[in-house]
Amino acid sequence: MVRASSSRSVQVLIIGAGPVGSLAAYQLAHAGIDVALFDDHAVPVLDYRASTFQPPTLDLLEPFGVTDALVRMGLPSPVIQYRDRREGPIGEIDLSVLSADTAYPYRLQCEQFKLTSWLQQRIAESPHANLLFGSPVVRFAADESGTTVELAGQEGSVWHGRYAIAADGARSTVRRAIGIEFEGYTHPEQFLVAGTSYDFASTMEDIRSVNYTSDPDEWFLLLRIPDMWRVVVPVPQAVASDEAMSSDYIQRCLQNISPSGGPFEILVSAIHRVHQRVASTYRRGSTFLAGDAAHVNNPLGGMGLNGGIHDALLLTDGLARVLHGEDESLLDGYEVRRRAVAIDDINASTERNKRLLEERDPLVRATNNRRLRQICSDPQAAHQHALDISMISSLRRIGTLRTPSA
């Protein structure tokens, strides 16, 4: 129960100032809706997790000025390469084949904290937005009149909103408080992410900026981002987190990818527990889940944050229209469309990507590689594959994007 005391009211409360909550606040404030955005961190964090922005995300963000900013801060990567650690390159998909489908036929690599920081600077200047760091939401209550939150350690700091968006990440306090199940499973291995100043292209001359390399023992993802190269590798269950984060372990993983003749300069490193989970519902009364609070998946495919951005865009469009007087039923489509994509597309394809990378059976590996070669060498199949991996197919299916013939 939230303690009754003097409270402040806005139209929409947003819990969690990660990229999804920040985008939701930016969009609503832009539409003239009064919002309060709370985050438990005392100051903004440099979160390096996501770096891949998919083509339709850039299309959808363009009208709001966000894409121009992202493109200025990011690195366009049109080619995606599939490799096998033992066989070398298997094939490439050049997203330029999407030039009739999107204004941005490439993946944009840009660290997620750069987007969040850009959004928060604008939110802070908006007369419609309150941005509160150091404000963990600890109590949450909802009734017909809306939702009420209480902030930790701030007696009397109670906020009320007609609607609330829980964008408070995978461990969402709000999702737990309102009793929504987070269905799915947790992968047994963790993922190690390391960023280095070393230029892998100097020794691996045939690599591209985005590489997925399969291997039955230690697959890896190698990405060039604006400030460094990033490597993602699985950490076997038997290896403790401390050991995996040690310099020796990280150096060994990187030397195993490309011997550098000396120690790699490690700029950032982190270890992540990875899940495939989707909330059993995205709405309870006046409260909506968005982003990682609603769905989480492994990072193989660069889809989690993109999906969260698509959530925020659809939800804030509906909320703004309802708060400006349109019928509440407008909001019914949010869960129907976004939950279906999370289950049928984002979770399904990231699971498939992981299985392809880690496959141990030599015959299945050979079949997988043969199929990838066929896809990459057949223009029609390559185009369809590009539509699927860039999330255009799924956004068309739920009507967020129109097909060119429609």
Ligand X SMILES: Cc1cc2nc3c(=O)[nH]c(=O)nc-3n(C[C@H](O)[C@H](O)[C@H](O)COP(=O)(O)OP(=O)(O)OC[C@H]3O[C@@H](n4cnc5c(N)ncnc54)[C@H](O)[C@@H]3O)c2cc1C
Residue 137 as a binder of ligand X (CB under 6 A): the answer is: yes
* Geometric angle at alpha carbon 109, from 104 and 111, rounded to 5°: 130
Among candidates 117, 113, 153, 123, which has minimal Cα distance to 137? 153
Chain positions 98 to 117 lying near ligand X, rule: CB under 6 A, are 112
Binder among 41, 324, 355, 370 for ligand X (CB under 6 A): 41
Residue 231 as a binder of ligand X (CB under 6 A): the answer is: no
Task: Considering only the stretches 237-245, 297-305, 329-337, 368-376, report the one whose residues sit in contact with ligand X under the rule CB under 6 A.
Answer: 297-305
Kindly state the smallest distance separating residue 405's Cβ from ligand X, in Å.
Answer: 28
Kindly state the smallest distance separating residue 272's Cβ from ligand X, in Å.
Answer: 4
Please list the residues that pair with 108 across neighbouring strands: 53, 76
Residue 353 as a binder of ligand X (CB under 6 A): the answer is: no
Binder among 18, 55, 105, 161 for ligand X (CB under 6 A): 18
Task: Considering only the stretches 48-56, 240-248, 319-327, 328-336, report the one whose residues sit in contact with ligand X under the rule CB under 6 A.
Answer: 48-56
Give 42 or 406: the residue with its C-beta nearer to ligand X.
42
Give 83 or 175: the residue with its C-beta nearer to ligand X.
175
Site string for ligand X, 54-93 (x = CB under 6 A): ----------------------------------------
Kindly state the smallest distance separating residue 325's Cβ from ligand X, in Å.
Answer: 29
Among candidates 339, 315, 349, 317, which has minimal Cα distance to 398? 339
Residue 306 as a binder of ligand X (CB under 6 A): the answer is: yes
Task: Considering only the stretches 74-82, 163-171, 246-254, 388-396, report the one whose residues sit in contact with ligand X under the rule CB under 6 A.
Answer: 163-171
Kindly state the smallest distance separating residue 24's Cβ from ligand X, in Å.
Answer: 9
Binder among 56, 146, 304, 318 for ligand X (CB under 6 A): 304
Binder among 12, 13, 14, 16 for ligand X (CB under 6 A): 16
Among candidates 174, 145, 133, 173, which has minimal Cα distance to 43? 133
Give 51 or 148: the residue with its C-beta nearer to ligand X.
51
Q: Is-contact 163 24, C-beta < 8 A?
A: no
Give 235 or 382: the residue with its C-beta nearer to ligand X.
235
Please list the residues that pair with 199 across neighbouring strands: none
Rounded CA separation 220/225 (Å): 16
Residue 191 as a binder of ligand X (CB under 6 A): the answer is: yes
Binder among 180, 303, 392, 401 for ligand X (CB under 6 A): 303
Kindly state the smallest distance separating residue 371's Cβ from ligand X, in Å.
Answer: 24
What contacts 24+ positions apart, CB below 8 Å, involve 303-306?
Answer: 303/54, 303/346, 303/349, 303/350, 303/391, 304/50, 304/346, 304/350, 305/19, 305/20, 305/49, 305/50, 305/112, 306/52, 306/53, 306/54, 306/57, 306/391
Chain positions 313 to 352 lying near ligand X, rule: CB under 6 A, are none
Place of tokens 């403790």: 240
Region of residue 399 (phi > 0: left; psi between -120 and 50: alpha; otherwise: beta)? left
* Geometric angle at alpha carbon 196, from 195 and 201, rounded to 5°: 115
First-last CA distance in the chain: 50
Phi, psi of 330 (to 5 degrees): -55, -30
Give 84 or 292: the residue with its C-beta nearer to ligand X.
292
Count CB neighbours of 362 within 10 A. 9
Site string for ligand X, 242-281 (x = CB under 6 A): ------------------------------x---------
Q: Is-contact 305 283, C-beta < 8 A?
A: no
Give 279 or 372: the residue with its C-beta nearer to ligand X.
279
SS3 sequence of 57-88: HHHHHHHHCHHHHHHHHCEEECEEEEEECCCE
Kindly state the smallest distance separating residue 209's Cβ from ligand X, in Å.
Answer: 13
Q: Is-contact 388 314, C-beta < 8 A?
A: no
Give 81 or 369: the residue with its C-beta nearer to ligand X.
81
List of residues contacting ligand X (CB under 6 A): 15-21, 38-41, 47, 49-52, 112, 136-137, 167-169, 173, 191, 193, 272, 291-292, 299, 302-306, 308
